[in-house]
Structure 1
Amino acid sequence: MKSVLILLTSLLLAMVTSPARADGLHEGWQVVDGLHLFYREGGNPSDPTLVFLHGNPLSSLMYAKVMEDLVATRRVHVIAVDYPSFGYSDTPGREVYRYTFDHLADTVSAFLAARGIHRYGLYMQDYGVPIGFRLIDRQPSAITSIIVQNGVIHLDGFPSAQDPQGELRRHWDSRNETVDARRAAYARSLGYPQAGRWEDEDHMGPDAMLQMIAAEQRPGVIDARNDLWFDYGSNVERYPHWQALLRGLHVPVLVLWGKRDQFFTTPGAVAYRRDAPQAEVHILDSTHFATLDQPDEVARLVGQFLDGHAGEAR
């Protein structure tokens, strides 16, 4: 009898002291300004919130495994939204929705307000970085922590944009129809992932690839994405401002970087330390889409980061 009591006591203590476990993620659509925005969410909303902002050309799907791991092992509330025309969100036409980074930030901000989220950490990758830094700029007091993964606010990590006379910078100064046509032709050329026609340099996997292709080939989306790419030049112009913003923020910063990314290169990771000396920087043997290529490692590093700054997240 005594041994049974000891066992029961041990089990009760384990239940009390172990991290809260969630039943995975749930999905849905949130109406924002007449648009249905798809989102993934998990954990208890009363716990500290981590908002995931996805990159191009993927969606919140790129974070699903990492989010599941975090809510299974920690007291954290996680949420990720698909931007208009990405993933499973609506695809408003260009005549009614401006595909600019300012407007996407407006939409994400309205989404967070609709979900009752007013204080949060940010996990940003690729396009998520310029969207996220717009949110930070608008309300820095709302931000509890910053996690960046393969996304830049310094030209150090953006070699194809370093030359003011290079194709990208000239396109952003004066829109080049040839660039638009080339990007559109590539998007239309993508087909169903199958043996014999499968290339996956970024290790995103066939499921994410299929969703990306289906989303991008919806009517009007390719032209909308070209509008957004043309507007990317507005981000480069704001890099100095965002660097100054980060210097004055004084929140915990984690930088994760897949070193096999040929577009956003590792000097971009190290550059964050100039503005945030407190930043933890981890260079991973991974790709642009590290959350799909190495989700367990990313979740481990993010979990350790959250544990180390738990008192600052509320």
Structure 2
Amino acid sequence: MLAAAAAAAPAHAATLRHGWQSVDGVHIFYREGGPPEAPTVVFLPGNPLSSIQYEKVMEDLAAVQSLHVISLDYPSFGYSDAPSPGTYAYTFDHLAETVRDFLKARGIARYALYMQDYGVPVGFRLICANPTAITAIVVQNGVIHLDGFPAAQDPHGELRSHWVQRNAGLDSRRAAYARSLGYPQAGWNDEEQVGPDVMWLAASAEQRPGVIEARNDLWFDYGSNVARYPAWQAQLRRIKAPLLVLWGKRDSYFTTPGAYAYRRDVPSAEVHILDADHFATLQIPDRIAALLGDFLQRHHIVPTKAPATGG
């Protein structure tokens, strides 16, 4: 059993490169691995995390595949600059524009997309703007159907009402929660199952001046995503790129019906329900890297490596 487990994992993790790319005057932090000329997978993070949520998966893939992997931190997330809401509009349209310009600056014109949580509405804007650039689509715990979004199913509920008429009380509750996040220490409760390093980066990034207000602006704009669900579903039915859906089954916010809903648009979609929570790449990175690597090989996104032969 131990030998089989060792054979399934890479012999060693690849070392990622880190840096900042200037995009329209904002310094965007990124993590990158593998040769830039190889087929590319772009990893789009979720809220409130950043590219750090993909680090282990990216390392595993770069170690065993002929693959270029890259992820970035959105403005105000992770290590990227946090321009004030007065100088940077915190909307999903603007985030998608920043990601598009980042990819252009890095010379990435064709790529597979891995999207989670906030990464899904950002990524579907990229897909709709240039569907021929997309070689494959991977969704993990992120929705374009109300099936998997219980909190938004009631058109008269608090969330849907907030997205129509902004609720200052909801903004205040979200701000108070963000301010309450402290340094992980003995007795700390890891509610999101992400680990202390990841949570401390997320909390310290969000507590920078003006960022709590920026994140509230972005959450208010989330209603623009729900309004686009029908258009994104239609685009998914048209696009030829293969679709992989990975879902942590213990996610209480984006629930498993959201995973199966993708099959209405793409009956051939591969759906894997995983024993994990919302941020599955932090809990079972080796499993996700194996599923993703196999999917990319079978769909000829990356070449299948020939088996080793004895000398």
Pairwise TM-score range, normalised by the shorter structure? over 0.9
Q: Does 1:296 align with 2:286?
A: yes
Instruction: Within 5 Å, give how 1:83-122 maps onto structure 2.
Output: 83-122=74-113
Q: For residues 140-166 of structure 1, what are the alpha-carbon distances to aligned partners after superposition, in whole Å with 9 as ceiling and x for unaligned? A: 000000000000000000000000000
Q: How big is the shift at 1:43?
A: 0.4
Distance in 2 (CA, whole Å) between partners of 1:223 and 1:29 is: 24
Q: Is the 8 A contact 2:46 2:116 kept in 1?
A: yes
Q: Does 1:218 align with 2:199?
A: no
The percentage of counterpart residues that share the same residue type is 69
Q: For residues 200-258 of structure 1, what are the alpha-carbon distances to aligned partners after superposition, in whole Å with 9 as ceiling and x for unaligned? A: 23210111001001000000000000000000000000000000000000211100000
Instruction: Within 5 Å, give how 1:57-68 maps onto structure 2.
Output: 57-68=48-59
Distance in 2 (CA, whole Å) between partners of 1:241 and 1:41 is: 31
Instruction: Within 5 Å, give how 1:1-314 maps onto structure 2.
Output: 23-196=14-187, 198-310=188-300
Q: Considering only CA atoms, is the larger Rg found in Structure 1 or Structure 2?
A: 1
Q: Is the 8 A contact 1:156 1:267 kept in 2?
A: yes
Q: Is the 8 A contact 1:164 1:170 kept in 2?
A: yes
Q: How big is the shift at 1:177?
A: 0.1
One-letter identity of the residue aligned with 1:178: G
One-letter identity of the residue aligned with 1:121: A
Distance in 1 (CA, whole Å) between partners of 2:289 and 2:196 is: 21
SS of residue paired to 1:260? coil
One-letter identity of the residue aligned with 2:279: F
Q: For residues 94-120 of structure 1, what are the alpha-carbon distances to aligned partners after superposition, in whole Å with 9 as ceiling and x for unaligned? A: 111000000000000000000000000
Q: How big is the shift at 1:45?
A: 1.2
Distance in 2 (CA, whole Å) between partners of 1:97 and 1:156 is: 32
Q: For residues 19-69 of structure 1, what are the alpha-carbon distances to aligned partners after superposition, in whole Å with 9 as ceiling and x for unaligned? A: 9x9842100000010110000000011111000000000000000000000
Distance in 2 (CA, whole Å) between partners of 1:76 and 1:311 is: 9
Q: Is the 8 A contact 2:50 2:73 kept in 1?
A: yes
Q: Is the 8 A contact 1:250 1:276 kept in 2?
A: no
Q: How big is the shift at 1:311?
A: 5.0
SS of residue paired to 1:80? strand
Q: How big is the shift at 1:309?
A: 1.1
SS of residue paired to 1:283? strand
One-letter identity of the residue aligned with 1:63: Y
SS of residue paired to 2:87? coil
Q: Is the 8 A contact 1:22 1:43 kept in 2?
A: no
When the two structures are aligned, how many residues end up with a matched partner?
Answer: 294
One-letter identity of the residue aligned with 2:90: Y
Distance in 1 (CA, whole Å) between partners of 2:181 and 2:44 is: 24
Distance in 2 (CA, whole Å) between partners of 1:270 and 1:189 is: 36
Give me the CA root mean square deviation: 1.5
One-letter identity of the residue aligned with 1:141: T
Distance in 2 (CA, whole Å) between partners of 1:98 and 1:219 is: 16
Distance in 1 (CA, whole Å) between partners of 2:297 and 2:208 is: 41
Distance in 2 (CA, whole Å) between partners of 1:58 and 1:226 is: 15
